[in-house]
A and B are shown apart, each in its own frame.
Chain A
Amino acid sequence: MNVGLFIPCYVDQFYPNVGIATLRLLESLGVKVVFPMEQTCCGQPMANSGFQSLSAGCDKNFIRNFADCDVVVGPSGSCVLHLKEHLHSDEQPAEATRLRNNVYELCEFLTDVLKVEELPKARFPHRVGLHTSCHGQRGLKLSSMSELVAPKFSKPEHLLNLVDGLDLVPLSQPDECCGFGGTFCVFEEALSSKMGKDRVADHLRHGAEVITGGDMSCLMQLEGVLRRQKSPVRVMHIAEILTSGN
């Protein structure tokens, strides 16, 4: 299986450690991974702003970069969901469909494809709050949703429970949105900030030392609030926690 590593633009530029942790995690689980060097962005910023047509360049670039890969794995539920739902090509419709059906968010790749049941080296003796990102949860169905009458499950939680010493804190509103929302964070600045503050407060109230999740964009939003509050609480991508102790 030829696995392509998709590192979203903002992770590439601002959080290289998340990319490194993702790569090391996959390699530690015996997966041979390639990182196509010319990849850029999934195109979601344009599409969510009402200009899906302006994401054609991104789509083309994505398809060109990952043409040789059987599957694509990325550490971001939001970007992966965008690709799953909207990756499009007039010239190569079949290739676009193939990639749409074979792109995975990191946690779902670990639980559904690799069927990871143990992470022997992983150790993280801290109180951790899990921010369940909306696109991962409701879009990719990475975990059950509080609105539905359905059995409870969570793929990220399953993975975090494999980490030695990790203490997952409960939250009052486990699937409340963090308020990032792509360009929403700028165009609805006041609302977005308030939502971020409220989300952080839920984690702090329950004694989290670290806030984690599968989407660095949500975590960037929460980090922005935490740093402004000069809080000692840190954010870490789930890949960083799953590789801790290695």
Chain B
Amino acid sequence: MDTASPKHAKAAEAFLRDEENTDWHNETLWFVRSKRDRAAQSLPEWEQLREQASQIKAHTLSKLDDYLIQLEENARQNGIIVHWAANGDEHNQIVLDIMRKHKATKIVKSKSMLTEECHLNPFLIKEGIEVIDTDLGERIVQLRNEPPSHIVLPAIHLKKKHIGDLFHIHLGTEAGATDPQYLTEAARIHLRQKFLLADVAITGVNFAIAETGGFVVCTNEGNADLGAHLAKVHIACMGIEKVIPQAEHLGVFLRLLARSATGQAVTTYSSHFRKPAPGQEMHLVLVDNGRTRQLASPDFRNSLKCIRCGACMNTCPVYRRSGGHSYHTAVAGPIGSILAPNIDMKEYADLPFASTLCGSCTNVCPVKIDIHQQLYKWRQVLGEAGAVESTKKVGMTGMDVLFSHPWLYRFAGRAGRWFMQKFPSLANKPGLNPWAIHRDMPKPPEQSFRDWYAQQNQKTNG
């Protein structure tokens, strides 16, 4: 396997060049994290809720096949047409076949990270189909030809000015206008036209209920409802991990989802779909795309508990300062760094290293995924697979030799300190020592602790 280049580090460096923007991004996401804290602290039973959610998910994953079959049977009885897709290509083809069957050419899509993961938009656009993302943030990044940078706040990397300029070009708003209400109004008018003309609506699925064969879609803008109720055909696309056993479990997740995501008590719209309305057609596409592989791995199975709230991104000190695009994957941040290498180990080998393993992600996770532990485990898998940069491997092999031989360690320590004392400018040369680009090296002491200790003992003993 070729060794991966540290794409994240390079992209992060580029993002950080505009420090003012980085600070704004960091502070904006920290504000969301703080809102999440206030919402969590307002529920004394918060930790019990997390534990309950985690256990429901663990149970569901342990019988995932049973629950999926139950979901399929019940959904079919409700009149929903159920499809299975092994991977992203199959998923995209299923959507296209439905479009062809209805001779449809226009889709309105509510936010779905699964369709991002499967690269549905470019696939359909190539087939001559118009795909309009209707979540406001997603529509913004779509107009910019960019992927979302965050799973809950897709355009969080952009300021009002960027959006004003963008809408001026695409929606004809006044040049220089940045008033959010004015811009939102323009987007609303633009999107309403799209809703009215669409043949097919695509939504994601937040929770599918095995017991009832129905599913729930959570949005803050009501765009999923507008799309699904106006179009003749509703296609709901879900990763197979989104199933939960019973309707009574919903309350646990709905209470956790919005509080973790944005600090709201509940999302503005939690829309329940159970069967097609008269004259309409409803499809449910169940997608694997590597999830069963993740399920088969005891080390990484836990990541399938994820309910895509984005809390780990908002808290992550790395994500806050590098931006979602630096992760070069559909789902960014700490959870994305676990999910992505499962889809393509070589492409995403850098991501489990884009973390200080500080553990904050694990603590905010509403379903108690041991995120930072899984990042650590991924590093081991990647190291063994030879997917880590060769320079790192050479360095670590050297350190192994050094630290396995106490005499060599003592000698190297002495030599290193001597070198730093004699040639401080070399030790602090950014070209030779990346540490020194923005930071100074510590001042090397005359003797190590070990040497001091030996000297003391000598004094005492003789």
Q: Which residues of A contact B (CB under 8 A)?
A: 7, 9, 11-20, 23, 35, 37-41, 43, 45-55, 57-58, 60-61, 134-135, 138-139, 145-150, 173, 175-177, 179-198, 220-221, 223-225, 227-228
Contact = CB atoms under 8 A, between A and B. Distances in A.
A17 B208 CA distance: 59
Interface string B263-274: 000000000000
A54 B363 contact: no
A228 B440 contact: yes
Given A19-B453, A61-B404, 15 more contacts: A16-B448, A37-B450, A37-B453, A58-B403, A134-B356, A134-B358, A134-B360, A148-B363, A187-B392, A188-B6, A188-B353, A189-B9, A190-B438, A191-B9, A228-B440
Interface in B359-382: 359-360, 362-364, 376, 379-380, 382
A19 B448 CA distance: 9
Nearest to B316: A177
Contact of B360 (A12, A38, A49, A138): A138
Contacts of B448: 12-13, 16
Contact of A177 (B16, B356, B413): B356
Nearest to A149: B46
B445 interface: yes
A100 B452 CA distance: 28
Interface in B300-350: 315, 317-318, 321-322
Contacts of B172: none
B12 interface: yes
Interface in B422-440: 434-435, 437-440
Given A179-B356, A189-B435, A50 B441 contact: no
B363 A147 contact: yes
B392 to A, nearest CB: 6
A147 B37 contact: yes
A138 B16 contact: no
Interface centre among A39, A40, A176 (most CB of B within 10 A): A40
Interface centre among B16, B317, B354 (most CB of A within 10 A): B317
A229 B437 CA distance: 13
Given A9-B409, A51-B383, A224 B353 contact: no
B399 A54 contact: yes
Contacts of A138: 358-360, 362-363
B382 A46 contact: no
B391 to A, nearest CB: 9
B187 to A, nearest CB: 33
B22 A54 contact: no
Nearest to A191: B12
Contacts of A14: 442, 444-445
B17 to A, nearest CB: 8
B26 interface: yes
A61 B403 contact: yes
B128 interface: no
B360 A16 contact: no
A41 B359 CA distance: 23
Interface centre among A54, A179, A187, A191 (most CB of B within 10 A): A191
A35 B456 CA distance: 12
15 contacts: A11-B449, A12-B448, A14-B442, A16-B452, A18-B449, A38-B406, A40-B403, A46-B400, A47-B376, A135-B357, A149-B41, A149-B47, A181-B358, A183-B392, A198-B26
Given A50-B383, A61-B404, A191-B16, A13 B43 contact: no
B380 A187 contact: no
Interface of A (DSSP majority class)? helix
Interface residues of B, number: 76
Nearest to B449: A19
B448 to A, nearest CB: 5
A224 B442 contact: yes
A55 B357 CA distance: 18
Nearest to A178: B356
B119 interface: no
A189 B383 CA distance: 21
Interface centre among A48, A175, A197 (most CB of B within 10 A): A48
Contacts of A19: 449, 452-453
Contact of A180 (B356, B406, B437): B356
A145 B363 contact: yes
10 tightest CB-CB pairs across the interface, nearest first? A57-B404, A50-B383, A224-B439, A181-B356, A19-B449, A193-B438, A147-B363, A138-B359, A134-B358, A50-B379
Contacts of B444: 13-14
Nearest to B439: A224
A52 B317 contact: no
Given A20-B452, A138-B359, A225-B439, A190 B445 contact: no
B86 interface: no
B406 A61 contact: yes
A12 B413 contact: yes
A50 B356 contact: no
Interface centre among A7, A39, A179, A190 (most CB of B within 10 A): A190
Contacts of A194: 16, 19, 22, 321, 438
Contacts of B315: 147
Contact of A60 (B396, B404, B442, B452): B404
B13 interface: yes
B84 interface: no
Contact of B439 (A50, A55, A221): A221
Nearest to A64: B406
A54 B380 CA distance: 11
Contacts of A47: 376, 380
Contacts of B360: 134, 138, 145, 147, 175, 177
Contacts of B47: 148-150
A20 B453 CA distance: 8
B439 A173 contact: no
A51 B393 contact: yes
A45 B439 contact: no
Nearest to B384: A53
A78 to B, nearest CB: 10
Given A40-B406, A175-B360, A187 B6 contact: yes
Nearest to A17: B445
Contact of A190 (B16, B40, B363): B16
Interface in B1-54: 6, 8-9, 12-13, 16, 19, 22, 26, 30, 37, 40-41, 43-44, 46-47
Nearest to A5: B453
